[in-house]
Amino acid sequence: MFRARTSLKLPVRLRNSPRIRPWFQSLWELLYPVPEFCPLCQTGIVAEGLPGCKVCISRVNPSMHRLRLARYQGFAVGYYDDYLQHLLYQIKYLNQYQLAVALGKLMALAAKEQPELQAVDYFLPVPLHHERLQKRGFNQAEAFVEGMNQVWPHRVYKAIRHKPTAFQSQLTPQERIKNLNRAFTLIHPTKIKGKRLLIVDDIFTTGATFYSLADLVERNQGVPFGLFLTHSHS
Ligand SMILES: [Zn+2]
């Protein structure tokens, strides 16, 4: 009796050939896509066009909160509580780099719709002092920027942070600003003249770090904006 051959498989000899394998694999993955796990919870399946599963995205509930940052304009994607607080803890203390990249994508998806941010020239991740960078393994602000660039490409402008601010939390807001006043240096400061820089950080609390960097940008005739993953309730 006649039996139709329905198998899609290539002969084993061809399948294992190094020249055939890559395209065979990509064809196979096109026909039967491998589900991508959510980098936020590691259990859900990534929803199409989003950087995480639907459950996580609804828990993060990204929305642009407009912040009053003296004479500067700034935005935060959510409050520093519940789920975002938990995710930031994982980034900082459990070294979850891909989680930070995914949240960066979410930040960009929210920010790119903001009319005030349309003409931004550079992303400026808030730098970490090199000692803290060594301890932590990566700078979460740079990881956010990497994710942001995947959905909203911009040039990245880097600054240097000079002294660790380990005891910042014990200072009054005024002392913090004083302490941070000479904390940063801009690399090639003439490049930012007349440019709009989006300063990116994980959390806005007192704003001491942001103001210190924003003032420095302004002193070099750049226009600073702020984008934070979270801010604390005021
Ligand atoms: Zn998830």
Query: 199 alpha carbon to ligand 1 midpoint, in Å?
Result: 27
Query: 76 alpha carbon to ligand 1 midpoint, in Å?
Result: 21
Angle (CA) 186-193-125 rounded to 5° is: 40
Ramachandran assignment for 194, one of left (phi > 0), alpha (psi -120 to 50 degrees), beta (any other):
left
Per-residue pLDDT band at 144 (split at 50, 70, 90) = very high
Residue 81 to residue 200: CA distance in whole angstroms = 19
Domain ranges of the chain: 22-60, 61-231
CATH T-level assignment (fold) for domain 61-231: Rossmann fold (3.40.50)
Query: 46 alpha carbon to ligand 1 midpoint, in Å?
Result: 7
Residue 101 to residue 149: CA distance in whole angstroms = 10
Query: 36 alpha carbon to ligand 1 midpoint, in Å?
Result: 11
What pLDDT, on a 0 to 100 scale, did the predictor assign at position 13? 64
- Selection from 62, 53, 54, 114 nearest residue 84 by Cα: 62
Return the number of other C-beta atoms located less than 10 Å from residue 25's C-beta. Answer: 11
Q: Is 93 exposed, middle or buried (0-12, 13-18, 19+ CB in 10 A)?
A: exposed
Residue 129 to residue 160: CA distance in whole angstroms = 8
For the cut 80, the answer to whether the pLDDT of residue 60 exceeds it is yes
Query: 22 alpha carbon to ligand 1 midpoint, in Å?
Result: 30
Query: 91 alpha carbon to ligand 1 midpoint, in Å?
Result: 15
What pLDDT, on a 0 to 100 scale, did the predictor assign at position 1? 44
What pLDDT, on a 0 to 100 scale, did the predictor assign at position 79? 93
Query: 165 alpha carbon to ligand 1 midpoint, in Å?
Result: 34
Query: 96 alpha carbon to ligand 1 midpoint, in Å?
Result: 14
Query: 50 alpha carbon to ligand 1 midpoint, in Å?
Result: 11
Query: 211 alpha carbon to ligand 1 midpoint, in Å?
Result: 34
Query: 135 alpha carbon to ligand 1 midpoint, in Å?
Result: 28
Contact 104, 144 (CB under 8 A): yes
Query: 88 alpha carbon to ligand 1 midpoint, in Å?
Result: 15
Return the number of other C-beta atoms located less than 10 Å from residue 107's C-beta. Answer: 29
The enclosing H or E element of 219 equals: helix 208-219
- Selection from 115, 119, 124 nearest residue 198 by Cα: 124
Query: 222 alpha carbon to ligand 1 midpoint, in Å?
Result: 38
Q: What digits encode the pLDDT tens for the residues 96-115?
A: 999 999 999 999 999 999 99
What pLDDT, on a 0 to 100 scale, did the predictor assign at position 165? 53
Q: What digits encode the pLDDT tens for the residues 13-41?
A: 666 666 666 777 777 777 777 788 999 99
The two three-digit tokens of residue 76, written as one number:
């935060």
Give 162's contacts (C-beta < 8 A, 6+ positions apart): 129, 182, 183, 184, 185
Ramachandran assignment for 101, one of left (phi > 0), alpha (psi -120 to 50 degrees), beta (any other):
alpha
Ramachandran assignment for 139, one of left (phi > 0), alpha (psi -120 to 50 degrees), beta (any other):
beta
Query: 140 alpha carbon to ligand 1 midpoint, in Å?
Result: 19
